[in-house]
Amino acid sequence: MSLKRTKPAFAISRRLRNFLFTLGILLACLLIALDHSSLRPKWRHYRQSAGQSVYSDFEKYDAKTFTVVKVVDGDTIDIDTPDGGYSHTRIRLWGVDTPETKKPDTPVMYFGPEASEFTTKSALGKSVTVYLDKTNTRDKYSRLLAYILLPDGSYLNELLLSEGYAYADFRFRHSFYNKYKQLESAARSSKKGLWEKVTPGQMPPWRQEN
């Protein structure tokens, strides 16, 4: 009587090992190809952005002092330290939204020039201290999100709200969300800045929906 032969139990696991080994080689080749292809700048930027931790931003910027070298808009400034491939770091002020003056395909909004002028007078050329928030350190454009302490001890974010140059940004939660809503409410009640004459149609689209 003949005995029926059976496959060795390890045959499947051997094939699986070979498959995983081959897959690993292919992935390694793909990574090398990406690093040497025309997509390299975008690929490296993605890796840097995806791997950039909140910790590294805190270590580099939090509670550190820098000079404001440019005011882009009422709520956006540049400071004198490199960020990635840029010679400066662009900061978007946490929790506030000033009327647009330089956004592509967007007309200058009501009280936008006044807000930009206020930020320019308050911060341009001055040494400011940057404070980050544990909730997030970057926006979708990779700009640093920060609270800016001015030399006189006041925060630029709060001044913009309390003097009526900015809207409290309800779209994103942060550590001072409720405080900023209260600052805006007080400015609105006192008809400070833009609140004196602004109409719903002159507000940012996101604000008109709230």
Residue whose structure tokens are 């931003």: 57
DSSP state of 83: B
117: annotated active-site residue: no
d(CA 25, CA 23): 5
40: annotated active-site residue: no
Q: Is 36 helix (H, G, I), strand (E, B) or coil?
A: helix
Contacts of 152 by beta carbon, 8 Å cutoff, 6+ apart: none
Q: Which of 114, 143, 158, 184 is catalytic?
A: 143
d(CA 115, CA 54): 30
207: annotated active-site residue: no
Residues 62 and 147 sit within 8 Å (Cβ to Cβ): no
Q: Which of 40, 44, 90, 92 is catalytic?
A: 92
For residue 198, give both structure tokens. 């602004």
Q: Which of 100, 114, 158, 184 is catalytic?
A: 100
Residues 97 and 75 sit within 8 Å (Cβ to Cβ): yes
Catalytic residues: 92, 100, 143
